[in-house]
């Protein structure tokens, strides 16, 4: 068990909620990315990585949301590096409301790479040390991969915008989710809540490129599942996503 638990409070600002004043899942992912970066910087990870041409590349999200915080609500986000396994790091996130109720959780998998050679690098003792990860604990966090897309109902193109870019010059990981969810029909977004999101990243994408989202949607009872594949102009696969939507309960 890693004791390097870090927490930050986030107040939900106006621009992080949708037209129903519910926080966007992409905003929750923004908080996860931010708190991971802040902790990594606090521990000296970012400085060490930069000096040694190393970087963490996000491979997977597996996110479960029970309740979306509302505008102006204050939530506590907790995270810790859970374990390392050769090239891979596992990190979890939890969101608590002011009554200490856990309203969302996420597991993530990251790959350590050499940023010049763009090749995986085995996680070394120094990184074990500063992230406080034990050698004994190399068990991985449970992360489900998205189901493969079999039939396409919707297709949409996006051009990578300047504001989509990360500090490394690639489209930020959350933008893949923005593009994918933008293909989900508004009647689903209005009447259903996204309770589970699985993302598998395959390849980065840069400024000015056009990406294409292929989406398949099927329903089972009170649930709708949307599957997404994102490809670039050469049909190279960039990302796979699966989102699970539950019908909102009507207030009587």
Nearer to a copy of itself, 30 or 107 (CB): 30
Cα separations (Å) of 42 from 38, 45, 130, 233? 6, 7, 10, 39
Is residue 209 involved in binding a copy of itself (CB under 8 A)?
A: no
Four-point Cα dihedral 27, 188, 223, 237, nearest 10: -60
Report in angstroms how near the CB of residue 186 gets to a copy of itself at its nearest. 7
In whole angstroms, give the CA distance from residue 44 to residue 64. 30
Burial class (CB in 10 A: 0-12, 13-18, 19+), 19: exposed
Q: Which of residues 137-196 bind a copy of itself (CB under 8 A)?
A: 161-163, 165-169, 172, 174, 178, 181-182, 184, 186, 189
In whole angstroms, give the CA distance from residue 23 to residue 33. 16
In whole angstroms, give the CA distance from residue 189 to residue 247. 10
Nearer to a copy of itself, 15 or 135 (CB): 15
Nearer to a copy of itself, 152 or 178 (CB): 178
Nearer to a copy of itself, 19 or 135 (CB): 19
Nearer to a copy of itself, 83 or 173 (CB): 173
Q: Which of residues 18-37 bind a copy of itself (CB under 8 A)?
A: 18-21, 24, 26, 30-31, 33-34, 37
Report in angstroms how near the CB of residue 56 gets to a copy of itself at its nearest. 13
Q: For residue 14, give every residue at least 6 positions away whose Cβ sits within 8 Å of its Cβ, in sequence order, or none.
A: 71
| Residue choice 50, 53, 72, 147 for contact with a copy of itself (CB under 8 A) | 72
Q: How far apart are the first and last CA of the chain?
A: 45
Is residue 214 involved in binding a copy of itself (CB under 8 A)?
A: no
Q: Encoding tokens for residue 183?
A: 């293909």
Nearer to a copy of itself, 10 or 240 (CB): 10
Contact between 188 and 245 (Cβ < 8 Å):
yes
Report in angstroms how near the CB of residue 140 gets to a copy of itself at its nearest. 25
Contact between 61 and 106 (Cβ < 8 Å):
yes
Nearer to a copy of itself, 13 or 148 (CB): 13
| Residue choice 1, 3, 15, 250 for contact with a copy of itself (CB under 8 A) | 15
Is residue 38 involved in binding a copy of itself (CB under 8 A)?
A: yes
Is residue 14 involved in binding a copy of itself (CB under 8 A)?
A: yes
Is residue 4 involved in binding a copy of itself (CB under 8 A)?
A: no
Q: For residue 242, give every residue at least 6 positions away whose Cβ sits within 8 Å of its Cβ, in sequence order, or none.
A: 146, 147, 196, 197, 198, 225, 226, 227, 228
As a residue count, the chain comes to 252
Sites of contact with a copy of itself (CB under 8 A): 13-15, 17-21, 24, 26, 30-31, 33-34, 37-38, 41, 71-72, 161-163, 165-169, 172, 174, 178, 181-182, 184, 186, 189, 207
């Amino acid at each position: 068990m890693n004791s390097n638990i870090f927490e930050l409070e986030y107040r939900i600002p106006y621009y992080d909620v949708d037209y129903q004043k519910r926080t966007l899942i992409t905003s929750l992912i923004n908080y996860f990315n931010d708190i991971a970066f802040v902790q990594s910087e606090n521990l000296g990870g970012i400085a060490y990585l930069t000096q040694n041409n190393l970087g963490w590349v996000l491979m997977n999200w597996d996110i479960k949301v029970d309740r979306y915080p509302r505008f102006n609500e204050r939530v506590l986000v907790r995270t810790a590096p859970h374990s390392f396994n050769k090239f891979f790091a596992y990190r979890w996130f939890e969101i608590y409301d002011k009554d200490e109720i856990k309203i969302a959780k996420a597991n993530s998998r990251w790959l350590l790479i050499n940023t010049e050679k763009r090749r995986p690098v085995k996680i070394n003792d120094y990184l074990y040390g500063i992230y406080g990860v034990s050698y004994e604990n190399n068990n991985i966090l449970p992360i489900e991969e998205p189901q493969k897309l079999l039939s396409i109902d919707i297709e949409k193109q996006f051009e990578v915008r300047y504001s989509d870019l990360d500090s490394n010059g690639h489209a930020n990981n959350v933008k893949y989710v923005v593009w994918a969810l933008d293909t989900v029909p508004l009647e689903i977004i209005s009447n259903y809540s996204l309770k589970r999101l699985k993302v598998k990243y395959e390849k980065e994408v840069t400024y000015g490129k056009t990406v294409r989202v292929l989406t398949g949607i099927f329903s089972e009872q009170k649930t709708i599942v949307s599957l997404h594949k994102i490809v670039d102009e050469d049909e190279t696969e960039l990302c796979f996503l699966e989102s699970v939507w539950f019908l909102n309960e009507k207030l009587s």
